């Protein structure tokens, strides 16, 4: 027998949605309450089904969430001037016999013959309000100008940088401003563009979420910086493309990119991050290079193995279709590892690994703090949150008298909430120290006795592993934590597969300073041999010249 549930469709304003949820709690209190809404409800005991995209997509998402269950009551707000008509239709499709219509006064009716008088009163009341608003005294209160002129879709600001030298030009189109160094992608772009500035005139076109001008570090290496204020929304339309692609779809960015290409005539257009592949045609006649910081559908394939969530299955399908089609539009696809390069089909591909600034990240001279662990990873990236959850839930309880320092990146509280439907992280535990964005992480590496990388899924490569090894700190990692890196387990780092193995390895290292010293020395040698940015930048320049030669 199917479990009976009740569902509140949050199709009104925020305050009315809260009142609807409270009302639905009172009816059939023994039944679990689900909420269909665009944002997660504040009450943690409610089952949330995200509403996003078109009606077919939301129908499939609800069908998946309600599988094996029977809707006993579907509460819907019938409120004018609120853009959730399709949500109301969705509720009617899912539960026509148990559709409970509620107005802003919390009067309600069901689609039953016995409710006809209540339905008649509701529509008569709506008609009176409509006539009073449009033809009565209330009309005097309306604005005299009928339409409010919409704001621009995205502000474009152009900043002159260093003087052009007449060298070949490379345009870098990025989903994020690459300074400050708030995530691994920014670190990569920062280091490679700083070195490429000696051989190329570079132009940057990037999305920004603030009104701040570009940092001096950017103006010193780009001849021009064009910033486009991103106005992406969680409520992006359903177009058959991945959600993140739609969040970065911008007519303003497209126009700014075309104008910049027309002005500078670059030979190469480098598109940083998968979602930027949608702008390849706007870079013509420049030859487009897509930098895959990770193969996104590969990441979703791994996530899919951890959950049967409908959204993961749907996004995996969309990413695979978008990403593989995008490759065919590129002159070259750059990946972070040979493993990722082997996944690229239908296009030329080259592996240019992530690296580390060997001059900036040096072996610390002072001894670390005893029994201090370090994890570095922005919570904006779901795999990092999953790693922290795994570590705190399964590894941390096995350790004694230790401390763990977690550097969670900018706006980490927001991303904790944003990803809360997929992973729960218990940060409020003894010995756990959480810090947001840190502009210079070298001090954190110096203080740490061991750096941990407990990732359960991963794509691309982990820059923080290379930084830790450059600073002479031993690393304990799962296979996903060192994904794509050419490292030797047992020699350069300690490889573990389970929570028990990770706890045991950490305990052994904490008790053996000699073993820590041996791993630290081997790790430093490895990054010096293979992962210096200077050598990677040299290989990038060779690739540029090959692509220009056609």
Cα–Cα distances in angstroms (integers) from residue 24 to residues 91, 240, 265, 268, in the given order: 15, 34, 61, 58
pLDDT at residue 93 greater than cutoff 70: yes
Asked which of 283-287, 303-307, 348-352, 505-509 is least confident by mean pLDDT, the reply is 303-307
Q: Tell me: the pLDDT tens digits for 111-149?
A: 656 556 655 665 555 555 544 544 444 333 333 333 333
Q: What domains are there in the chain, each with its CATH number?
A: 3-111 (3.40.50), 156-351 (3.40.50.11930), 372-531 (3.40.50.2000)
pLDDT at residue 196 greater than cutoff 90: yes
Q: What percent of the chain has pLDDT over 70?
A: 90
Region 263-275 average pLDDT: 97
Q: How confident is the model at residue 238 (pLDDT cuts 50, 70, 90)?
A: low
Q: Report the range out of 144-153, 291-300, 306-315 with the highest average pLDDT.
A: 291-300
pLDDT at residue 158 greater than cutoff 80: yes
Return the closest-CA partner of residue 354 out of 492, 199, 486: 486
> Who's near 45: CB < 8 A, 6+ residues apart?
none
**More confident call, 159 vs 155:** 159
Residue 39 exposed, middle or buried by CB count within 10 Å (0-12, 13-18, 19+): middle
Q: For residue 143, what pLDDT is reported?
A: 35
- The H or E element containing residue 185 is helix 184-196
User: What's phi and psi for 229, nearest 5 deg?
Assistant: -65, 120
Q: Tell me: the pLDDT tens digits for 464-485?
A: 999 999 999 999 999 999 999 9
| Measured distance CA(75)–CA(99) in Å, rounded | 6
For the chain, give the mean pLDDT. Answer: 88
Give me 102's structure tokens. 């509620």
Q: What percent of the chain has pLDDT over 90?
A: 69
pLDDT at residue 343 greater than cutoff 90: yes
Cα–Cα distances in angstroms (integers) from residue 421 to residues 49, 267, 292, 417, in the given order: 9, 44, 27, 8
Is 519:493 a contact under the CB 8 Å cutoff? yes
Return the closest-CA partner of residue 230 out of 266, 275, 261, 183: 275
pLDDT at residue 153 greater than cutoff 60: no
Region 42-66 average pLDDT: 88
Asked which of 115-124, 262-271, 430-439 is least confident by mean pLDDT, the reply is 115-124
Q: For residue 236, what pLDDT is reported?
A: 54
Region 410-417 average pLDDT: 89
pLDDT at residue 157 greater than cutoff 60: yes
Partnered with residue 160 across adjacent β-strands are 224
């Amino acid at each position: 027998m199917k479990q009976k549930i009740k569902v509140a469709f949050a199709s009104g304003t925020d305050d009315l949605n809260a009142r609807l949820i409270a009302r639905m709690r009172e009816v059939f209190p023994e039944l679990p309450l689900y909420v269909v809404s665009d944002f997660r409800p504040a009450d943690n005991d409610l089952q949330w089904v995200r509403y996003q995209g078109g009606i077919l997509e939301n129908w499939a998402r609800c069908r998946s969430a309600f599988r094996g269950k029977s809707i006993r009551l579907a509460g819907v707000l019938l409120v004018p001037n609120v853009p959730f008509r399709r949500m109301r239709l969705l509720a009617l499709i899912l539960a026509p016999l148990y559709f409970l219509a509620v107005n802003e006064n919390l009067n309600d009716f069901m689609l039953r013959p016995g409710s006809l008088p209540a339905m008649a009163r509701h529509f008569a009341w709506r008609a009176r309000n409509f006539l009073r608003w449009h033809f009565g005294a209330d009309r005097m209160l309306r604005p005299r100008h009928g339409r409010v002129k919409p704001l621009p879709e995205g502000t474009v600001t152009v900043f002159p940088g260093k003087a052009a030298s007449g060298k070949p030009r490379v345009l870098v189109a990025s989903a994020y401003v690459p300074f400050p160094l708030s995530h691994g992608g920014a670190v990569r772009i920062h280091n490679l563009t700083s070195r490429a500035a000696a051989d190329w005139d570079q132009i940057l076109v990037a999305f920004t979420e603030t009104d701040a001008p570009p940092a001096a570090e950017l103006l010193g290496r780009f001849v021009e910086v064009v910033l486009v204020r991103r106005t992406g929304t969680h409520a992006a339309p359903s177009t058959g493309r991945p959600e993140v692609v739609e969040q970065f779809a911008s007519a303003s960015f497209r126009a700014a990119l075309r104008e910049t290409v027309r002005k500078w005539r670059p030979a190469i257009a480098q598109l940083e991050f998968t979602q930027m592949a949608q702008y390849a045609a706007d870079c013509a006649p420049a030859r487009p290079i897509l930098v895959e910081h990770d193969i996104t559908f590969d990441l979703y394939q791994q996530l899919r193995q951890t959950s049967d969530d409908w959204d993961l299955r749907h996004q995996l399908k969309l990413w695979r279709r978008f990403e593989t089609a995008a490759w065919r539009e590129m002159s070259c696809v750059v990946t972070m590892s040979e493993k990722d390069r082997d996944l690229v089909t239908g296009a030329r591909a080259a592996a240019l690994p992530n690296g580390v600034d060997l001059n900036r990240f040096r072996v610390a001279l002072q001894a670390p703090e005893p029994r201090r662990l370090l994890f570095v990873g922005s919570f904006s990236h779901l795999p990092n949150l999953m790693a922290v959850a795994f570590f705190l839930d399964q590894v941390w309880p096995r350790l004694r008298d230790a401390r763990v320092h977690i550097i969670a990146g900018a706006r980490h509280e927001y991303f904790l909430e944003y990803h809360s439907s997929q992973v729960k992280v218990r940060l409020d535990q003894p010995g756990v120290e959480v810090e947001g964005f840190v502009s210079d992480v070298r001090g954190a590496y110096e203080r740490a006795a061991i750096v941990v990388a407990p990732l359960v899924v991963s794509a691309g490569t982990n820059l923080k592993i290379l930084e830790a090894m450059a600073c002479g700190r031993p690393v304990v990692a799962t296979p996903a934590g060192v994904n794509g890196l050419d490292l030797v387990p047992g020699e350069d780092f300690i490889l573990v597969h389970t929570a028990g193995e990770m706890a045991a390895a950490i305990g052994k290292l904490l008790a053996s300073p000699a073993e820590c010293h041996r791993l630290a020395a081997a790790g430093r040698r490895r990054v010096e041999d293979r992962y210096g940015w200077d050598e990677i930048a040299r290989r990038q320049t060779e690739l540029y010249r090959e692509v220009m030669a056609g």
